[in-house]
Amino acid sequence: MGIAYLKEQRLFKLDTPGTTYLMGLADREGFLGHVYYGRKLEDVKGAEELMRTVEGPFTPEKNNRDRSSFLDCFPWEYSSHGVGDFRESSVRVKDGNGCSAVLLTYLSHEIYKGKRPLEGLPATFGGEGEAETLEILCEDKSLGLRAVLSYSVFGDTDVIARSVRFENVGGGELYLEKAMSFCMDMDNPGFDVLTLHGSWARERHMERKPLGHGKFSVSTLRGETSHQEHCFMALLSPGADQDKGEVYGFQLVYSGNFLMQAEVNQFDSVRVTAGIHPEDFSWRLGPGESFQTPEGILTYSGEGLGGMTSSLHKLYRKHLIRSPYLHRKRPILINNWEATYFDFNEQKLLDIARESAALGIEMLVMDDGWFGNRYDDNRALGDWKVNEEKLKGGLGKLVEQVNALGLKFGIWFEPEMISGESELYRQHPDWALAVPGRTPTLARNQYVLDISRKEVRDSIMEQVFAVLHSANIEYVKWDMNRPLTDLGSAALPAERQGELYHRYVLGMYEMQERLITEFPNLLLENCSGGGGRFDPGMLYYSPQIWCSDDTDAIERLAIQESTAMIYPLSAMGAHVSVCPNHTVGRNTPFETRGFVALAGTFGYELDITKLSAEDREMVPRQTAMYHRFHDLVREGDYYRISSYQENHAFDCFQVNGPDGKEALVFYTQVLNEPNRRSRIVRLKGLEKDARYRVQVVSMEDDELLKDTGREFSGQVLMYGGLRLERLWGDFRSQILCLRRVEP
């Protein structure tokens, strides 16, 4: 890890453990250009030629008559607008004359140890011995606008964190109409682009396609990072796969409207930009005021997608998630939602708790329906007071009874929403987002609270805090069940309505920061109709996010595979639910449901009092399995072996324990086929000279691990493979434990 300015070459050199990032100054005007990002370079002699400024159209100081041609082909580190570069811009600013041209050039720089926080925004972190930061100050003198381009590198992972802070140093008002978090130009060797798409209950499915000329983007205008398109993009060299080839990965640490775009131009170079979506965005910058963009994450891997995954997992576990639960075993919870929906009372909850405690479950989570007159999803959001018709004696009494059974207690909130039929709406109808004179748009029969307003945030958090202080509540599920529409705030003047989307996100971040500050030992799980707001920004506040409302084990194979390509397994909320599954109606073995849920936080979402005797007997074995292996799953290194999304037949991945003594191989056979032989899969990350004993995780009796008598060298397992028997039937799953044989 290190950052240096090479004065003779006018190059900035940023090194991570395995990569190098180079930028250069190309002209006396201070044009800052991208030079290189890839495998680590020890000697960068002559690298400045990669900017191609030694060839036509040359720099303006040599050939100002073709200034526009230069601006339109120079590999910008942060692209301009309206002055001659006709590719995607990084920034657009409207000045007092109504003009929007911007050209930022180098002014000065600072290199320092560590990494500073971003005001009001989630961001990666690192102390003086863990990270190093470069800040490049650029300026557009005509506008009186300065921009601080920030780059941070980390000592333990191949990631670069980037962001931009804009400052109005002139005497007039400016309006930011576009402010990307980063821009990067490079040659296109024939990249494929990999993105994650989906919808509610089928989030984050991988899609790979060739990157052609023109612009390819993923984005959202829903006010959340969305079920439909994820804030992630990767560019893959031809033939790149899990283990080989070059991969450039890009993400945003943000939870609102985003735009991530790759553009291939006339010279076959590719420009990647990402940041807040410019549609419906405008931010007033008065004299002396500043604006901070969200953070962007860049990573390079020369070892395929697996290398990218490893770098991102390390980053998020070591430099983003702050929760005290990061390295702690999470309690096995049971959520009553799919068990009861809105039809419950304290007796029903106690029945579930009593049965759960007897089977090794450790926490009862009371979901939607406990407050106000919330007997269905048409009312009461915003009225966060306990419904004592349902919970006789109040919340405190219920929690005491649950605790007396040996269970912890958790609760569900949806703090950002309001029902038209609620006391809060009757008192403060102007607190809901609305456009004057237009009929508001309902979704799930609810409106969105204008949490850009401090008084709204204060009112909601006061109610939430009162509930949480009233009883021994150790877990909160924070939900958000609809997108943002009717973008109008009664508290913003007309010229500042374009700030609403981003101010909403900032307000939500402030609310969650207040929550975990007031209750530092709280286990917070974020949720947005399932996986609608699964992004790095939310991981800054909660160590886990509900992965999807679809709990079907087979559907979860694709959802969890794509999620785990970016995020640690410990971040994925995963539960065992009842069959037929409530989303797709599929029947899968109870054993398979448990094995698939183990690749996440692990819990239950069902009426445990109605389980069959056979399934009920398996619950204590599953909870024992969780306790035996969760530390390994939470802290271990993840390797994708085979993809059900690609082969449409089976799924396989591996988790290696941090001490190297054990590894787990997760194998799910989706559909069986007649007259087929066994499968052979090549494992990864083992010690080639070690020997490993193979055991099978068993749910058949009290013996959790059954020895198979099979023993292999690491070389055989990685270079030859491990033979997996065909399983009898469809939707069958198996977990193998490889234990290193000590000399």
Write the pLDDT tens digit of every residue in 252-295: 999 999 999 999 999 999 999 999 999 999 999 999 999 999 99
CA distances from 234 to 88, 160, 392, 736 (A): 18, 15, 53, 31
Cβ count near 338 (within 10 Å): 19
The residues facing 447 across adjacent strands are: 418
Q: Measured in Å, how far apart are the chain's first and last C-alpha atoms?
A: 36
Is 549 among the residues known to form the active site?
yes
Residues 6+ apart with CB under 8 A from 86: 72
Spell out where 340-390 has E strands: 363-366
pLDDT computed for residue 1 by the predictor: 85
Burial of 727 (0-12, 13-18, 19+ CB in 10 A): middle
3-state secondary structure of 43: coil
- The single-letter code of the amino acid at 79 is S
Q: Are strands 333-335 and 363-366 parallel, antiparallel or unpaired?
A: parallel
- The single-letter code of the amino acid at 346 is E
pLDDT computed for residue 743 by the predictor: 84
3-state secondary structure of 639: strand
Gap between the Cα atoms of 32 and 136, Å rounded: 10
Gap between the Cα atoms of 696 and 186, Å rounded: 48
The residues facing 242 across adjacent strands are: none
Gap between the Cα atoms of 627 and 57, Å rounded: 65
Half-sphere exposure (Cβ direction) of 587: Cα atoms closer than 13 Å: 1
Gap between the Cα atoms of 131 and 117, Å rounded: 12
Residues 6+ apart with CB under 8 A from 738: 662, 663, 664, 665, 683, 686, 692, 693, 694, 695, 717
| Catalytic one of 27, 85, 158, 479 | 479
Spell out where 267-332 has E strands: 269-276, 283-285, 290-292, 295-301
Q: What is the DSSP letter of 717?
A: I
510: phi then psi, degrees, rounded to nearest 5 = -60, -40
Q: Looking at the structure, give the CATH architecture of the domain made up of residues 333-636.
A: Alpha-Beta Barrel (3.20)
pLDDT computed for residue 54 by the predictor: 94
For residue 400, the surrounding DSSP H or E stretch is: helix 394-404
Q: Degrees (nearest 5) of the Cα angle 480, 484, 488?
A: 135
pLDDT computed for residue 193 by the predictor: 98
pLDDT computed for residue 422 by the predictor: 98
Spell out where 98-245 has E strands: 105-113, 131-140, 145-154, 157-168, 174-187, 192-197, 205-210, 214-220, 232-236
CATH code for the domain defined by 2-319: 2.70.98.60
Gap between the Cα atoms of 631 and 620, Å rounded: 18
pLDDT computed for residue 529 by the predictor: 96
Gap between the Cα atoms of 105 and 581, Å rounded: 58
Yes or no: is domain 640-740 CATH 2.60.40.1180?
Answer: yes
pLDDT computed for residue 463 by the predictor: 98
pLDDT computed for residue 683 by the predictor: 98
CA distances from 45 to 8, 58, 130, 665 (A): 10, 21, 28, 45
3-state secondary structure of 30: coil
CA distances from 122 to 109, 540, 570 (A): 24, 6, 19
pLDDT computed for residue 330 by the predictor: 97
Residues of the chain short of pLDDT 50, as ranges, are: none
Burial of 426 (0-12, 13-18, 19+ CB in 10 A): exposed
| Catalytic one of 549, 550, 552, 615 | 549
Cβ count near 357 (within 10 Å): 17
Q: Where are the domains of the chain?
A: 2-319, 333-636, 640-740
Q: Are 543 and 323 in contact (CB under 8 A)?
A: yes
Residues 6+ apart with CB under 8 A from 662: 632, 656, 737, 738, 739, 740
3-state secondary structure of 506: helix
Burial of 238 (0-12, 13-18, 19+ CB in 10 A): exposed
